Amino acid sequence: MLEQAAAAPTHASTRPSRGRWYVLLMISAMYLITYLDRVNISTAAPLISKEYGFDKITMGFIFSAFVWAYAMFQVPGGWLSDKFGARGVLGGIVTYWSVMTAATAGAFSAVSFIVVRFLFGVGEAGAFPGATRAMQLWYPQPERGFVQGITHSASRLGAAIAPPLVVLIMSQWGWRAVFLICGVIGIFWSLWWALSYRNLPEEHDMVNRAELERIRGLDAAGAIKPPPMEKQHNVPWSTLLSSPNMWAIMAAYFTYVYCLWIFLSWLPSYLVDFRHFTLLKVGLFASLPLLAGVVGDTVGGLATDYLLKRTGSAKIGRRVVAITGLLGCAVFIVPAALTEDAYVAVWCLTASMFFLECTIGPSWAVPMDTGGKYSGTVSGMMNMAGNIGGALSPIVFGALVQIGNWQAPFIVAAALLVVGAAVWAFWLDPDKHILTS
């Protein structure tokens, strides 16, 4: 069937259609929803902790419950999309996690919050690996950094609009309404995806022959190349786990996600409790770093693809952008922690988030470049390792704050960012396939 589809796409035209950009719109909308749903609790946290009397350590465990589940189920989520395709898998998991988002409104104790957030994380875990599988099949290599940058920009936009949106909803209907409304939004997306997405561009009515040529390329005989891989069933786990490059990818992403979760979990509480901003101002100032992240995601994606095209080397194109981003974040996050001026701290955090997010394009392009037909599984392993760091981050932050030190969490993050840059520079090789490294 695939050979027939490749040979005779639905529409013949000399001008490429734009079906892959419609798919990008759908995936970007899902990325926005993922972060809207996962960070809404951060802005609601001051009211939740006040209502139930939760201390900083308890809130740290509530924040991290999602991330532990998210880390644990990355690989199963990626494997499911590799095996069954992103259409059914993503539609199902978005529906599930939207129900869990709404269920957060019914939590009534620390244990119930932890359980519901854990179950929510189980659902979201398959989102990015599944989308990576879809993007590998829908976009040629020179566009992969860009599409990863755009989709992650959308996710950070979701995180950025969350604080003012959550504050607005809470001011009208209370914090429980936040989770109910977010749950409904996810259900609507699932319906849109089921009706509009197909696992291969060869199967989509919106893709003509010219666009398919751009996506697949032509072979020596002038025929459109087939899809780069068939659905696979048996993952070579021993090979993946013994690959130095796989461990390098995981280690680098660990340092990134650890730092990211400072912004996603504790930033609103930090601005209220340490910088003494009002909740209304927090709705604005907590959004600024995340809005800068939106720009950083796009800039990093464009930059890594530009360097790849100019040099022909994924090693240069991916490494240069990632290293610059990690070190740039470290340079700004230290003064953000140490300055006495609250507004200077906000602007330094904004700059640090911009640089941190520049690493997303190269980070998520690497599993597509090196993973081959196991790209969903490889990206799941990468994101699993990253989110182990993300799960530790809120707990470490909360423990340090509980003893009265608001600066130390940022210094720890800066040290890890330097380690991450070293991994990219001396260990991770974007030109080497996982199965041969």
Lowest mean pLDDT among 55-69, 221-235, 397-411, 419-433: 221-235
pLDDT of res. 5: 42
For 257, other C-beta atoms within 10 Å of its C-beta total: 25
Tens digit of each residue's pLDDT (9 = 90 or more) over 10-57: 444 578 888 999 999 999 999 999 989 988 998 899 899 999 999 888
How many whole angstroms separate alpha carbon 318 and alpha carbon 305?
8
Find the distance separating the first CA and the last CA of the chain, reported in whole Å: 33
Tens digit of each residue's pLDDT (9 = 90 or more) over 86-102: 899 999 999 999 999 99
pLDDT of res. 2: 42
Tens digit of each residue's pLDDT (9 = 90 or more) over 182-234: 999 999 999 999 999 998 899 889 999 888 888 888 777 777 778 765 545 57
> For residues 39 and 176, which has the higher predicted lDDT (pLDDT)?
176
Under DSSP, the state recorded for 11 is: B
pLDDT of res. 195: 94
Band of the pLDDT at 118, cuts 50, 70, 90? very high
Nearest in space to 138 (alpha carbons), one of 25, 233, 33, 234: 25
Residue 321 corresponds to which tokens in the numbers above?
A: 């952008």
* Averaged confidence pLDDT in the chain: 87
Please count the CA atoms within 13 angstroms of the CA of 185 that sit on its side-chain side.
17
pLDDT of res. 267: 86
Q: Is 23 helix (H, G, I), strand (E, B) or coil?
A: helix
Tens digit of each residue's pLDDT (9 = 90 or more) over 281-319: 887 888 899 889 889 988 998 999 899 889 988 889 999
Nearest in space to 412 (alpha carbons), one of 393, 399, 398, 431: 393
Helix, strand, coil percentages for the chain (3-state, nearest 5) = 80, 0, 20
Would you say 34 and 90 are in contact if contact means Cβ atoms under 8 Å apart?
no
How much is the pTM? 0.75
Ordered by where they begin, the domains of the chain are: 17-216+237-436 (1.20.1250.20)
pLDDT of res. 436: 66
CA distance readout (Å), 308 to 267, 314, 427 = 35, 6, 19
pLDDT of res. 330: 97
pLDDT of res. 260: 92
